[in-house]
């Protein structure tokens, strides 16, 4: 059945299991492992746990606190959507049969592997960090600076650095288009937009190993553009400095 705890004080305990809905609402929440058909946790401050597993949605809201692991990394596993909102987020692996949405309103957001059957959307006022992103749909990541290690993206990839650089892009497969936007520099290795345009707009320099797109490749910066081979349906390079790529 339903397991519902509601208090203005703290909710502290071990493992929890509910047949249908696990609904916790407290001043703070600190638990072990929890499972239910649907998991809803709201807190005025922190939400910490060892792991959460749900057949349907997982919705966590820490209004003035963090969402993080307790005595373990804090893995999430849901057959539905996962929705996270907190000042800052620090978790392990996140697996969703739907979409993953995470919003860190006053800090960083760090994860292990984030895998979603549909879309991944991560927004933070700090730095977002993912070990790997796997989405059947599109992936969008926004932060002051963005480091994107590895990814397998079934739709479009959008990375936005609002007050810094985009860098450390490792091995990424993108089935759709790619949009990179940074107030600072943009740096990446080999990257291909398999089903659309590839745009890069930087306030600093753009440096890369090679880039390709099935559509238009458009790089724009006030700084330099340096890199290796370019392959696209059309290529537009605009720079306020040196352009150095193979002819």
Distance CA 69, CA 2 (A): 24
Phi-psi region of 70 (alpha: psi -120 to 50; beta: other; left: phi over 0): alpha
At 240 the pLDDT is: 78
At 7 the pLDDT is: 98
At 148 the pLDDT is: 85
Q: Find out whether 93 and 111 touch, Cβ atoms under 8 Å.
A: yes
pTM of the complete model: 0.96
At 157 the pLDDT is: 97
Block means of pLDDT (10 residues each) for the chain, 247 residues, are 97 98 98 98 98 98 98 98 98 98 98 98 96 97 92 97 89 94 95 96 95 96 94 89 78
Distance CA 187, CA 154 (A): 22
At 247 the pLDDT is: 57
Closest alpha carbon to 90 in 113, 114, 71, 74: 74
């Amino acid at each position: 059945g339903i397991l519902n705890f509601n208090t203005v004080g703290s909710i502290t305990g071990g493992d929890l299991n509910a047949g249908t809905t696990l609904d916790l609402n407290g001043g703070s929440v600190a638990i072990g492992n929890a499972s239910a058909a649907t998991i809803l946790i709201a807190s005025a401050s922190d939400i910490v746990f060892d792991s959460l597993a749900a057949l349907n949605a997982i919705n966590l809201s820490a209004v003035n606190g963090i969402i993080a692991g307790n005595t373990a990394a804090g893995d999430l596993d849901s057959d539905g959507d996962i929705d996270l909102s907190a000042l800052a987020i620090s978790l392990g692996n996140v697996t969703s049969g739907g979409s993953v949405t995470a919003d860190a309103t006053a800090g960083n957001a760090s994860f292990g592997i984030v895998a979603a059957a549909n879309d991944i959307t991560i927004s933070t006022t700090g730095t977002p960090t993912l070990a790997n992103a796997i989405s059947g749909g599109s992936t969008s990541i926004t932060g002051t600076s963005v480091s994107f290690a590895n990814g397998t993206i079934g739709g479009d990839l959008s990375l936005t650095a609002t007050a810094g650089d985009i860098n450390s892009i490792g091995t990424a497969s993108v089935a759709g288009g790619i949009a990179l936007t940074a107030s600072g520099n943009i740096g990446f290795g080999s990257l291909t937009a398999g089903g659309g345009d590839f745009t890069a707009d930087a306030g600093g320099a753009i440096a890369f190993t090679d880039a390709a797109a099935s559509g238009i490749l458009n790089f724009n910066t006030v700084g330099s553009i340096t890199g290796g081979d370019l392959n696209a349906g059309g290529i537009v390079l605009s720079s306020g400095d040196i352009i150095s790529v193979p002819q």
